[in-house]
Amino acid sequence: MTEHDALIDPLTRGALLKKAGAGALGLSAASLLAACGSSGSSSSSAGSSNVIAGQAILSNYPGWMGKHNLAAFHQKYPQASIKMISNATSSSAEVVLQFKSRQYDFLLSDTTDSGQAHAADLITPLDWSKVPNIQNISEKFRKAYPWGLPTDYGKVGIAYRPDLVGNATITSWHDLWELIPRYSGQTVFIDLERDCMGSTCKYLGFSSNTTDPGEMSKVQDAIVRVKPDLKAFLNTNVGAGLINGSTAMAMDWDYDVALLQQKNDKIKWVLPDEGVHAYLEGFTAVKNTSKIAVIQAFLNFLATPPQYADFVNTTGTAYMMPTATPLIEKSISKNPILVPTPAVLAKTEFDKYLGADGTTLWSNTWTAIKAA
Amino acid sequence: MAPPPAEPPRRRRPALGGLPRLALLLPTLVITALCFVIPLGLIAVYSFGTVNEVNFDVYFGWTTQNYHDFTSTLYLHTLARSVFLSLSTTLSCAVLGFIFAYYISRQPPRAQQLLLVAVIVPFWTSFIVRTYAWVDLLQNLGPIDRFARALGLHGHIDILYTPYSIAIGILYSYLPLMILPIYVSLERIDPALYDAAADLGATPFRQFRRVVLPHAVPGLIAGIIIVGVPALGEYVIPEILGGGKTLMAGNLLADQFLETGNYPFGSALAVTVMVVLMLLLFLLRRAQPAVEAQ
Amino acid sequence: MNIRRHPVAAPLSLLILLFMWVPLIVVAVNSFNTQTIMAGWGGFTTHWYSLAWHNEDVRTGLKTTLIIAVASSVLSLFVAVTGALWWRRASPKARAVYDGLIFARIILPEVVFATALFFLFLKIHFSLGLTAIVIGHTVWNSAYAALIVQARMAGLDPALEEAAADLGATPWRAFRRVTLSALMPAIVVAGLLAFTFSFDDVVTSVFLQGASNSPLPVVILGMIRFRITPEINAIGLLVMLFTVTVMSLAVIFYATAGSLGRAGRRGSMLDMYR
């Protein structure tokens, strides 16, 4: 990803982390270096406990960092630095293998993956006394992401063109499900397990982290019922068809819709009444990393309004630090779709790790839906 | 006149100026035995193991559970659909490929090279970029749709994100693979043979059947194998052009390795597919003498 | 009437050629589209080309992919030709095994093979990277090449080479003038095929690249997962133009070296007298 693209389309981060269904060609070999567990990142340690020194290696999504974050950090701590390796990865299997491989010191990882890594005993929890600035991040996010520093999140709601559905008004998942058969072949769902089925859980009034087989069976039925009338399940450019009208309704991420609205203002965003599910991600440290001091210093540094604002302005994501608002670009901070108001957050449920059985249940249900 | 030179003692002639024949086999042995058979063995062993779903460690407990899982109706249905789609696409590919290969083979050598290049060049653009181009082409409100509507079609062509668009995508991607082997077979037909047949009064159809077809058979078989089998395992095209609505065997397989991390189950799937196809090959070889005799 | 005229094959072939080229035209047209999301025509611009041209990842990717493709094609041809030479005098049983191995390499789904090779390399501590990728590509490329070369070899009479030897040609000369030149079309075709496969490969490359530079298809994939923009089309087109140029130069060089003229003609018994 070039910087230039980030400028043109600041809100473009596709659910790359979440491209579970994409045939995931982007499986990075570095992460696979896990299966036989290579030796850990064993360079010289951080020296005396008062000096933050050493280079911590971060596996991150391409371009998912403020333009000046790393340089500014190095300026503040001249003996420390962060090296960022780009991995356009998504599947839980791959991220967990990245933890396992010990090739990196810390990773960008979402709630599900960090949860699983935690269960597999592959992370180093942070010493929060060394990261006091964590207070700047709203509590709801901190609670949902206890393993490291949460950085961003994405809600899945509805985007639609009222002019293409007879000027109907959609306010809930229920409305959407009703309209899909009436406008057959014009609705797009997201082609990712957690996003698609999670939203369906909301439609049916379940938690988007349910592991109840009975509930999942109902989720399966609900999707299979409308599947013949869907246009497609997509994982990139999900809502793009809304611009020229080849798609009338879409299940889509907040930042994606915000971007689409810039191209065609007839597109409307809906935060459905029943609520939404969202992914939540951040930086988590790998177990037995020798650079924990550097990592903690960096995360503490990142959690200050100026640095965090730089991060948000570069990536264009929905953000989680109210105190940073004055420093964030208006196109993001003034956008009701992206601002973390309490009302919005009250309706948002973050993904959790579902445990081995839960993950298998979701996985099998998804396969059954796709095979139908 | 000098007496004729004595016959050299009879022994097996080396294939190429002194090199023992085994030396010729060595490169192939290295590539297949070391880099293919051994990894395959690993897969076979994995298929009898179990995986820890939390940290993805694979344990070897010699279980056949993975194979049992595979026989559930869900997967068999998916496999059947894949086979049908791949088979029909392969046959279409064979017909089109044959026509084009035949046409190329009948051109003067310069034109042949040009046409071959014309077939290959689009494939230096990157497979993914080309496949997404089909999305643009086939979508409603896209060029083909608008063209059809201009010709009087009511509604839309509704091709994208259906099994038909997957078929088009596969046909497109594999056509050169079909054309090339058939061309190679047909190219060695001496043009004099056509003239001879014509002179002997054979009708065009008869010329075709007696001259062209027998030569084309090895190339056709090669083409059908080269196209048909990978088409079965294809998962990228169904995903991009199928809109995620048509689950194919390839998706199922790839998911095990790339998404779920269920290596044992994926390995069991792979082993089953391999065994079935090897059986098919075995049967094909049995039938081949009969085909060639014709 | 002689079937040299082709009332049916000609127009159909034209349509087929069109079918092959239409997506390319779409890619080309869209690469000039101002519309980022390509949901319609937004106006003409060369902005994407300048982006693509200056994209460091793309340049490195192209270089990496070319190295891999050339290395793999050459190796695959070597394996295929030597194997085919062995094959023509092999016993039926040995042939069956050889053919079976070719078949097996083609039918094994690439994702399975790539994973297996990856695990194997790790176990034997063979470092991942360009060499590993080339090896991976060569395993299946050599199978396709072997298939094509063999299809051609099947029609050659080994007695021709022996006859040439009897008539006084050294074994090497006999081989070169008779067998090799007769095989040449197949070799060229197989080489082109192997190059094209390697060039476009994603799955094996992704698994075996280790920490090395990503080959171009992997780079493109990363860009697509982010967002599909005309820059990707521009890259596709630039890459194609580059490859065509390189190939044309190679062909010109080869043709002026003389052998292409001979190989273009059907191998006939007369050749061995030259």
Give residue limits of the domains in chain B.
73-262+284-293
Average pLDDT on A276-289 reads 92
Q: Does A14 touch chain C (CB under 8 A)?
A: yes
* Span of A209-213, C139-143, C171-175, C213-217 with lowest mean pLDDT: C171-175
Cβ distance of A27 and C119 shorter than 8 Å: no
Q: Between B and C, how many CB-CB pairs are < 8 A?
A: 283
Query: Chain A closest CA to C226's CA: distance in Å?
Result: 5
Note the maximum CA span of chain B: 91
**A–C: how many Cβ contacts below 8 A?**
87
Residue A131 has a CB neighbour count (10 Å cut-off) of: 20
DSSP A76-121: HSTTEEEEEEE-----HHHHHHHHHHT--SEEEEEHHHHHHHHHTT
Quick one: three-class SS letters along chain A?
CCHHHHHHCCCCCCCHHHCCCCCCCCCCHHHHCCCCCCCCCCCCCCCCCCCCCEEEEEEECCCCCCCCHHHHHHHHCCCEEEEEEECCCCCHHHHHHHHHHCCCCEEEEEHHHHHHHHHCCCEECCCHHHCHHHHHCCHHHHHHCCCCEEEEEEEEEEEECHHHCCCCCCCCHHHHHHHHHHCCCCEEEECCHHHHHHHHHHHHCCCCCCCCHHHHHHHHHHHHHHHHHEEEEECCCCCCHHHHCCCCEEEEEHHHHHHHHHHCCCCEEECCCCCEEEEEEEEEEECCCCCHHHHHHHHHHHCCHHHHHHHHHHHCCECCCHHHHHHCCHHHHCCCCCCCCHHHHHCEEECCCCHHHHHHHHHHHHHHHHHC
C-chain CB neighbours of B266 within 8 Å are: 112, 115
Say yes or no: C210 contacts chain A, CB-CB below 8 A.
yes
**Strands, DSSP E only, in chain B?**
50-51, 58-59
Pairwise CA distance, residues A297 & A106, whole Å = 13
Does A9 contact C36 at a Cβ distance shorter than 8 Å? Answer: yes
Counting every residue written for chain C, the total comes to 274
Cβ-based neighbours of A129, under 8 Å, separated by 6 or more: none
A contacts of C128 (beta carbons < 8 Å): 29, 33
Residues of A with Cβ-Cβ distance to C206 under 8 angstroms: 25-29
Whether residue C225 is predicted with pLDDT greater than 90 in this model: the reply is: no
Give the chains touching B; criterion: ≥3 Cβ pairs < 8 Å.
A, C
As a whole number of angstroms, the distance between CA C268 and CA C181 comes to 10
Query: Is A30 an 8 Å CB contact of chain C?
Result: yes
Q: What is the mean pLDDT of residues B145-169?
A: 89
Does a structural domain hold residue C20?
no
pLDDT category of residue C267 using cuts at 50, 70 and 90: very low
Residues of chain B contacting A245 with CB distance shorter than 8 Å: 141
Three-state SS for B11? coil
Contact assessment for residue A303 and residue A179, using Cβ atoms and an 8 Å cutoff: no
For residue A218, the distance in angstroms to the closest alpha carbon of chain C comes to 31
Contact call for residues C156 and C271 (beta carbons, < 8 A): no
Q: Does C262 touch chain A (CB under 8 A)?
A: no
The domain limits of chain A are 3-153+279-338, 156-277+356-371
| For residues A115-129, average pLDDT | 92
Q: Which residues does chain C have within 8 Å of residue A90's beta carbon, measured at their own beta carbons? A: 225
Q: Is B258 within 8 Å of A91 when comparing Cβ atoms?
A: yes
What percentage of residues in chain B have a pLDDT greater than 90? Answer: 13
Domain presence at residue C83: yes
Quote the number of domains for chain C: 1
The 10s digit of each residue's pLDDT in A62-84 is 778 898 999 999 999 999 999 87
Check residues B85 and B260 and name the one with the higher pLDDT: B85
Mean pLDDT to the nearest integer, A194-202: 95
Is the Cβ pair C203, A25 closer than 8 Å? yes
Quote the percentage of chain C above a pLDDT of 70.
86
Distance CA A188, CA A251 (A): 6
Cα-Cα-Cα-Cα dihedral sign, residues A351, A353, A355, A360 = positive
Work out whether strand A268-270 and strand A149-160 pair parallel, antiparallel, or are unpaired: antiparallel
Q: Is the pLDDT of residue A17 over 60?
A: no
Residue B121: both structure tokens together: 């060049």
Residues in chain C within 8 Å Cβ distance of A30: 210-211
Cβ atoms of C83 and B28 within 8 Å: the answer is yes
Q: CB B53 to CB A359 under 8 A? A: yes
Q: Do B244 and A368 touch (CB under 8 A)?
A: no
The CATH number of the domain covering residues in A156-277+356-371: 3.40.190.10
Question: For the domain with range A3-153+279-338, which CATH number is right: 3.40.250.10, 3.40.190.10, 1.10.260.40, 3.20.20.70?
Answer: 3.40.190.10
Nearest CA in chain A to C226: A14
What percent of chain A has a predicted confidence (pLDDT) above 90?
56
CATH number (domain holding residue C187): 1.10.3720.10
Work out the pLDDT band at B290, boundaries 50, 70, 90. low
Higher-confidence position of C197 and A227: A227
- For an interface test with A, the pick among C36, C41, C53, C225 (most A C-beta atoms closer than 10 Å) comes out as C225
C203 touches chain A (CB under 8 A): yes
What was the pLDDT predicted at A20? 32
Question: Which residues in chain B have their CB less than 8 angstroms from residue C221's CB?
Answer: 128
Contacts of residue C119 in chain A, CB cutoff 8 Å?
35-36
Q: B99 and C12: CB-CB below 8 Å? A: yes
| CB neighbourhood size of A330 (10 A) | 7
Domain hosting residue C108, numbered range = 46-273
In-domain check, residue C9: no
Measured between beta carbons, the chain C residues lying within 8 angstroms of B236 are 202
Q: C258 in contact with A at a CB cutoff of 8 Å?
A: no
Return the pLDDT at A34: 39
pLDDT higher at A236 or A148: A148
How would residue C263 be classed by pLDDT, with cut points 50, 70 and 90?
Answer: very low
pLDDT (mean) for C225-234: 80
CB neighbourhood size of B38 (10 A)? 15
Between A227 and B267, the more confident residue is A227
Chain B: give the shortest CA distance to residue A121, in Å: 9
Provide residues of B within 8 Å CB-CB of chain A: 53-56, 58, 74-75, 77-78, 139-141, 158, 160-161, 235-236, 239, 243-245, 247, 251-252, 254-255, 258-261
Name the pLDDT band for B11 (thresholds 50, 70, 90).
very low
Contact criterion met (CB < 8 Å) for B261 and A93: yes
Residues of A with CB under 8 A from a CB of B: 20-25, 27, 34-35, 91-94, 96-97, 100, 116, 119-122, 185, 191, 227, 230-235, 241, 244-246, 356, 359-360, 363, 367-368, 370-371
What CATH homologous superfamily does B73-262+284-293 map to?
MetI-like (1.10.3720.10)
Average the pLDDT over B40-50 and give the result. Answer: 88
What phi and psi values does residue C186 have, to the nearest 5 degrees? Answer: -65, -40
| Minimal Cβ distance to A24: which of B55, B75, B258 | B258
> Which residue of C86, C139, C240 is in closest CB contact with B25?
C86
pLDDT at C67 over 80: yes
Q: Which one of B117, B130, B233 has the shortest CB-CB distance to C27?
A: B130
Q: Give the single-character DSSP code of C108.
A: S
**B64: helix, strand or coil:** coil
Chain B nearest C-alpha distance from C172 (Å) = 5
Sort out which chain B residues have CB atoms less than 8 A from C23's CB and list them: 122, 130, 133-134, 137, 172
C130 Cα to chain B: minimum distance (Å): 15
User: Quick one: pLDDT band at residue C5, thresholds 50, 70, 90?
Assistant: low
**What average pLDDT does this structure show over C246-265?**
61
pLDDT at C260 over 80: no
Question: Is C16 among the domain residues?
Answer: no
Q: What is the pLDDT of residues B102-126, one digit of tens each?
A: 899 888 888 888 888 888 888 877 8
Q: What are the tokens at B156?
A: 């839309």
**Chain A residues close to C229, C-beta within 8 Å:** 5
Top residue of A97, A226, A231, A287 to mutate, by most chain B CBs within 10 Å, is A231
Spell out which residues of chain B touch residue A28, defining contact as CB-CB under 8 Å: none
Q: With contacts defined as CB-CB under 8 Å, which chain A residues touch C207?
A: 27, 29, 32
Q: Lowest-pLDDT range, A39-53, A276-290, A303-317, B182-196?
A: A39-53
Name which residue leads in pLDDT, A5 or C261: C261
Which letter does DSSP use for residue B142 in this model? S
State the smallest CA–CA distance between residue A318 and chain C in angstroms. Answer: 17
pLDDT given for residue C185 in this prediction: 79
**Cβ contacts of C38 on chain A, cutoff 8 Å:** 240
For residue C151, give the nearest of C162, C163, C143, C139 by alpha carbon. Answer: C143
Shortest CA distance from A315: residue in chain C: C226
Question: Is there a domain that residue C25 lies in?
Answer: no
CA distance C208 to chain A (A): 6
User: pLDDT over 70 for what percent of chain B?
Assistant: 90
Nearest to B54 among A97, A356, A367 (CB): A356
Asked if A244 is an interface residue toward chain C (Cβ–Cβ < 8 A), one would say: yes
Q: What is the mean pLDDT of chain B?
A: 81
Nearest to B236 among A25, A35, A232 (CB): A25
pLDDT at position C186, please? 83
